[in-house]
Amino acid sequence: MTHEGKNLGQGKNLGNDCCVVAAMAVAFFMLFVSVAAKAQTPANPPGTTSAPVVDSSTTGPTTPPANPPTTDAAVEASPSASAGHRISLPPNAAVAVRLQKAIDSANVRNGDMLDAILASPVRTSDGHTLPAGTRVGVTVLAVAAAGKISSRGEVTLQVIHVGPAATLTDALTFHGQPGHKDLPDSAPAKGTEASVSTNTTLHFHVAPIPK
């Protein structure tokens, strides 16, 4: 090989080496740019927000009240404690009650509550007085229309409270007129209904305490 050809081969090898070096330099540059871009990317993409971070160490521990309220489960479970002072009527006390609306055995049902008020004042067990006009709870204890059980109608009433005083009285029963009999031993015809007129005053008595 001549001296000139040898120089030409060396020139080609040198050119190839330069290309390789340049390619590697470009590759390293691109890698550097990529890494730098990732490092500068914000934690949240544009258009998004992150929830505020609360450092529990800055809020401090919750301090309980100096004297927390105490709850006695036995007191809460006791009906007498929750109801407070109960009002009652003394045993055998007379209770005069005036009905506000007429009733009859054909139109009332067992358990119905009737409109009624005190016709006269009543003394309570603790010495207070419930005045006339106080609301009275009168219930229909039993009822049978005429011709159902017997030829005449029948209705039984009882007082279960006087104003705020829960009580229980004796029961009053009212009867209608029996139906006509053709013969003394024949079945009577249908009689009349038991009825109580408006403003009728009924006299009950508070039931005595069982011994």
Q: How do residues 92-104 score in pLDDT, each as one tens digit?
A: 999 999 999 999 9
Give the pLDDT score at 21.
54
Indicate the burial class of 136 (C-beta count within 10 angstroms; 0-12, 13-18, 19 or more): buried
Q: How do residues 2-61 score in pLDDT, each as one tens digit?
A: 444 444 445 445 455 555 556 666 566 666 555 555 545 444 444 444 434 333 333 444
Mean pLDDT of 128-139: 96
Q: What's the whole-model pTM score?
A: 0.58
Give the pLDDT score at 23.
60
* Average pLDDT of every residue of the chain: 75
Looking at residue 132, the DSSP 8-state letter turns out to be T
Q: What does the domain layout of the chain look like in residue ranges? A: 1-41, 94-205
Indicate the burial class of 35 (C-beta count within 10 angstroms; 0-12, 13-18, 19 or more): exposed
